[in-house]
Chains A and B, each alone.
Chain A
Amino acid sequence: MKIAFQHKQAAHCENGVISNLLIHNGYAISEPLAFGIGSGLFFVFLPFFKINLAPAISFRPMPGFIFKRLCKRLGIKIKHQKFKNTATAKTSLDALLQKKIPVGLQVGVYDLTYFPDAYRFHFNAHNLVVYEKKEDTYLISDPVMENVTTLTTKELEKVRFSKGTFAPKGHLYYPIKFPEALPLKKAILKGIKATCRDMLAPVPIVGVKGMRMVAKAIKKWPKKVGTKKTNHYLGQIVRMQEEIGTGGGGFRFIYGAFLQEASEILKLPELIKFSKEITEIGDLWRDFAIDASRLYKNRSSEFDGYTKVADKLLILANKEEDFFKRLKKTIAQYG
């Protein structure tokens, strides 16, 4: 007999779904562990790609990457399915639920009826778990919600076939094969290494270099596009950094939790120090958010405030560069 599905709220939807699915299958992988092993900490600046009328900035890798890397590093096999046709998408899902297999789904946020209006944007890479069907209602475990919720067949079809960038096309997934013992230690080391590599990447738009590029751009924006647009651009950075899913401070706090857990699993007390440091860096990110949002009230056209905010970002970039360089060195000793 299978145990009933346990809903656990998470900060980030992708990690939350993986974590909940793995726990259901008897593998205690917490959200921070999933995030760390999947190398979820990231930074990228795409100046020519606009989201919400502002240059795109992301604190996370492409949707699905964390999941993919986590499963690869742990040796877990996942079955993915996408559909052209809404009817087959429904029957496939129903067949799985009939076998009492909880299924992960990629959905669009805009038509999720249980979301507050202010959070409903056309973002198509949200994740949730369907764990049961009762007549016309699907029982949903959405990791960013405190409790389980429901969606009707019609509502579920709409969010599964939302349109736009990253359109889910009914995407469903569930684990099918597990290794005898999870290679947890190796996977953690690999995850940390990849994060260090990403954040220190010799690419101008990625990692700490990307942060510096944003800082430079912030200084130029007021003259180039005017204060109103600059404020909007800064606002979007703050949103990406603090919106639902990040756990605050652009994922730095989840990473701190991960390093703490990793230090226990790997029996590496040094990592505790790193966990504390990244937490402090996360606090600085929050200060950055406060300062950046204050500029909305700054109606005068003085550019001083923008330079200050940009400098704060530069300090963050320097701190993180130092942090990841030392973390890389420490981890390199252990393989």
Chain B
Amino acid sequence: MKTNEVPQDIGNLANASMKELCYAIDKKGKYTTKLSDGWKVKTLVLNKSLELIEERAQEFKNNFKKGRISPIPYFMEINRMDLTVLSGYMNKWKWVLKRHFKPLIFDKLSQKILQKYADTFNISVDNFKNCNNE
């Protein structure tokens, strides 16, 4: 990559504030560093990944409305969490959390556990129970 090839595509607003350092070759063939405003290839891929998260979240929400699952998968998705991360914050085993995905078991959870979930997802207990992300 030459210094004049360092991509300067100002992409999504989200990363406008951040410039990345790239290593590139100057006219004399020497390595130097140059800041990049972003690269459209990267922006595309990142946006597609975020779209997928959005899509999956919507699906979890629909399934919640149909009474098939608890709201937990929805909030995990919008917080970009996997079970390992959630298990760390909840201080519970993954299989315990997975059980909580079932509506019948979720309905029996204590106020204390619900509060812990709500705190983890940074949301009120009411909104959490109703799968409401406001």
Interface string of A112-135 (1 = CB under 8 A from B): 000111111110000000000000
Q: Complex: how many Å from CA A275 to CA B31?
A: 9
A32-B23, A164-B85 in contact; A243/B42 too (CB < 8 A)? yes
Nearest opposing residue in chain A for B50, CB measure: A118
Q: Are B52 and A254 in contact (CB under 8 A)?
A: no
A118-B14, A118-B50 in contact; A11/B45 too (CB < 8 A)? no
A120-B80, A122-B85, A164-B84 in contact; A11/B41 too (CB < 8 A)? no
Q: Are B21 and A242 in contact (CB under 8 A)?
A: no
Enumerate 23 A-B pairs (CB-CB under 8 Å) in ascending A order.
Answer: A10-B21, A11-B33, A32-B31, A52-B49, A115-B18, A116-B14, A116-B15, A116-B16, A118-B12, A118-B46, A121-B80, A122-B82, A163-B88, A238-B41, A248-B23, A253-B1, A253-B23, A256-B23, A257-B23, A279-B25, A282-B1, A289-B42, A293-B45
Query: CB within 8 A of A116: which of B18, B22, B30?
Result: B18
Interface residues of B in 24-63 (CB under 8 A from A): 24-25, 29-31, 33, 35-36, 39, 41-42, 44-46, 48-50, 52
Q: Complex: how many Å from CA A286 to CA B22?
A: 13
Whether B104 sits at the interface, judged by CB under 8 Å, is: no
Q: Are B24 and A253 in contact (CB under 8 A)?
A: yes
A249-B1, A289-B41, A290-B41 in contact; A122/B52 too (CB < 8 A)? no
Q: How large is the interface on A (under 10, 10 to 19, 20 to 34, 35 or more residues)?
A: 35 or more
Whether A106 sits at the interface, judged by CB under 8 Å, is: no
Contacts of B134 in A (CB 8 A): none
Q: Complex: how many Å from CA A136 to CA B36?
A: 33
* Stretch from A179-187, A228-236, A319-327 contacting the other chain: A228-236
Q: Are B15 and A119 in contact (CB under 8 A)?
A: yes
11 more contacts with CB within 8 A, not counting A164-B84, A235-B48, are A118-B15, A120-B80, A122-B81, A144-B20, A146-B35, A242-B45, A247-B21, A256-B25, A260-B30, A293-B44, A296-B48
Query: CB within 8 A of B48: which of A53, A119, A165, A232?
Result: A232
Q: Are B49 and A247 in contact (CB under 8 A)?
A: no
Q: Are A247 and B23 in contact (CB under 8 A)?
A: yes
Query: CB within 8 A of B1: which of A11, A279, A296?
Result: A279
Q: State the Cβ distance, A129 to closest chain B Cβ, in Å.
A: 16
A-B pairs with lowest CB-CB distance, top 10: A163-B88, A164-B85, A118-B14, A257-B31, A253-B23, A235-B45, A116-B14, A257-B23, A116-B15, A11-B21
Contacts of A58 in B (CB 8 A): none
Whether B111 sits at the interface, judged by CB under 8 Å, is: no
Nearest opposing residue in chain A for B120, CB measure: A163
Interface residues of A in 8-28 (CB under 8 A from B): 9-11
